[in-house]
Structure 1
């Protein structure tokens, strides 16, 4: 252990880089410009995230957020299927993959294809998921995706037809794998019952996922909320970390399963897919320490304590507030909040919902007061409400991030298809400036 500790110390010291060098060489840290906007690295027809405008001098002007799937605004898409009283994830997946909205016959055929593809290969559940147990559902999902490579005789076929076949198969199988992986983990490490329910072809993606987790113990509103959450998380442009990972790996001309496994590794990170759980934990802390949830002054004072690193986890972050692109509002949070209030009423948790809404209102004001009026404009993002929704749906915390993957697989596959078939077909290869001094080789016998 002493040797490893010393080795780690040396490794950390060798990684240290003078921060002034980033300015000297104009390095776009995190692929961000000086105004925190993303560095433009590609073009896409799939998703468009609009969080601000620019004036004639290029200065960012805050604006209410908009999100487009293949040119169709997300709000219009959601209002459309909600008005019809049906679920929309299948329609959103079809749109992202094909580039156009399906007609009734196409949507029916696509939905039936997804239903058929839910079944896992023979013995896959036992050998890949239940026998090779694991504590992390995201890692089990990634491992299972790589395992599906071995069951695909056309795994290395990059034709558009085959890429679509693989995409539809993965979209259909993700909820099944997540449900089985969760119950396998629960059985192995929490000494609870192993429950395996077979997917039901007549159910929508959201209904089927709830059925596999809870049996038939879910309401129509619960299924509607999960379906909406899946639609809202299905795509978010090519610049988000996991979609960009999909494109980077796909640009190397690897197989679909390797590219999606890489995306899952990205999404698992706490700075990407795990944010809603951090919101839930923060809200639990606030609920324990704020006596009057309706007292704006008391709530604001506690939020300021969080920013001063005197409360919650000591990071100084109000989780769920702020976004890399959105300024005045996140359209996903707006849509989810509307239905979340209905769910809170059904579940008898309206007081909690009102606390969320109050914090959404107060947090930006507290943030500007603490950071200064010239700070970046912040708003509640989709993670602020999604964890609360999952709590109301009685979904285990271990699969909050996997649900993100269940939704985003549609966007990942669309970006992979675009990268493989329509991009410049160049491997994505940015540059890093080496700033270490040049040293001479010292023979082993002469080293201290």
Structure 2
């Protein structure tokens, strides 16, 4: 029997519902750890200290996220700052935008090599990326079109793993070889996600299939817009804003979940494709890279439940309902507000917000931009009044989804775009891990189960 690609062994109902319910009950009952043990053994849940700071588990020179000052054991809120190789990302952005250049390629070079390129080196690096953007012969047809996925992150993760088979030297973990693989991944991932989206749109959404060839002379942001749009058309403003989003998502220190995953997997001595695929799997989660999709869903829900987008009281009343788990997904979370490190401000959100206003004016969507801004201001006020929080601000996810929406980028590509940007940071951290730290990362877990004897089958 030939099984269509949409079919799966999991769609064939081999489970008796009653038996599955019984097994589920056992799985849940015997896998919930008593919360008192976490306090008793001083477990740092989520690798975070009681004051909210992260447990120090490593060193890096690649990126740094600053959001507070520690004074006498207390966390003092501070203006947010993001640095790449010690350089304030705000100054980096000002530099390339002042010259009316795209910045993602320059930032990728900085993260990988630890210094800014001169003009010749930058052109050489851009040339390398341009020559590597086309996928290997047969990859698009055999890997992407024959086996499309309804989820582009899932498709990207599989595509990266399959790239191992197209590499003539996949297991060599010398810095030289990892660097070659890194440049290829930074160049090819945008093509992978674009083709993954086109396959999904065609086979799942019954839209026309568009497979455009990447252009070597175009940068990353321009190529993405060129590849995902049927007519290849985009404006300079659109490309500049997407480029900014890529720059701001390229790196975020060693402690974020996906980058830490890169360090953990790389520490085993495995290949680049396995390590980077693990990072993609981490980023897929809604608590990490998928957060901007949750923001978009929340905003749509707010639009449906308030009559006047400019009525602050109406916005406030509905946000209070969300916070009290009475509205939206009933999680009690206002997505796009708050961050594990940033307190007073998230510099990425500040810069995206500024550019988002300019594009909103160009696209005649200022009223919608004002709704986002009102949600931001009102949510911060609510947290201050209801929870006594003075250390909370909008994060990058609040405005990134709106930016992508104004760029007519489908929501299925929001998190894959995050992955395409963070590829530079992940690869830089992988090189740093392999070059600096030979030890495998192996933290401890305390076993809190009592010892018991094995019971023979006939006696159970």
Superposition TM-score, scaled by structure 2 size: 0.95
Aligned to 2:5: none
The answer (yes or no) to whether the contact 1:309–1:315 under 8 Å persists in 2 is yes
**What is the CA distance between 1:217 and its match in structure 2?**
2.1
Paired residue for 1:190, among 182, 205, 212? 205
Partner of 2:416: 402
Structure 2 gaps of 5+ residues are 1-15
2:428 equivalent in structure 1:
414
Instruction: Give SS of 2:300's match.
Output: helix
State the Cα distance separating 1:288 from its structure 2 match.
Answer: 1.9
Deviation at 1:216, TM superposition (A): 3.0
Residue aligning to 2:124: 109
1:307–1:370 CA contact under 8 A, matched in 2: no
- CA deviations on 1:116-166 (whole Å, 9 max, x unpaired) are 000111011000000012111111111111111011111111111111110
CA distance in 1, matches of 2:270, 2:357: 44
User: Does 2:315 match 1:299?
Assistant: yes
Q: Which residue of 1 aligns with 2:13?
A: none
How far 1:4 sits from its partner (Å)? Answer: 2.2
CA distance in 2, matches of 1:315, 1:349: 29
For 1:193-212, list aligned pairs within 5 A.
193-212=208-227
* Structure 1 counterpart of 2:452: 439
Superposed CA offset, 1:264-305 (max 9, x none): 100001111110111111111112222222222221121111
CA shift, 1:376, in A, is: 6.4
User: How far, CA to CA, are the matches of 1:143 and 1:415 in structure 2?
Assistant: 21
For 1:359 and 1:96, the matched residues in 2 are separated by 34
Match in the other structure for 2:405: 391
Residues 393-433 of structure 1: per-residue CA shift (max 9 Å, x gap)? 0001111110000000000000000001112x111011110
Q: Is the 8 A contact 1:304 1:370 kept in 2?
A: no
- Report the Cα distance in structure 2 between the residues aligned to 1:442 and 1:287, rounded to whole angstroms: 59
Q: Is the 8 A contact 1:46 1:70 kept in 2?
A: yes
Residue matched to 1:22: 38
Aligned to 1:229: 245
TM-score normalised to the size of structure 1?
0.98
The match for 2:347 is 331
Separation in structure 2 between the aligned mates of residue 190 and residue 337 of structure 1, nearest angstrom: 32
Aligned to 1:265: 281
Q: Give 5+ residue unaligned stretches, structure 1.
A: none
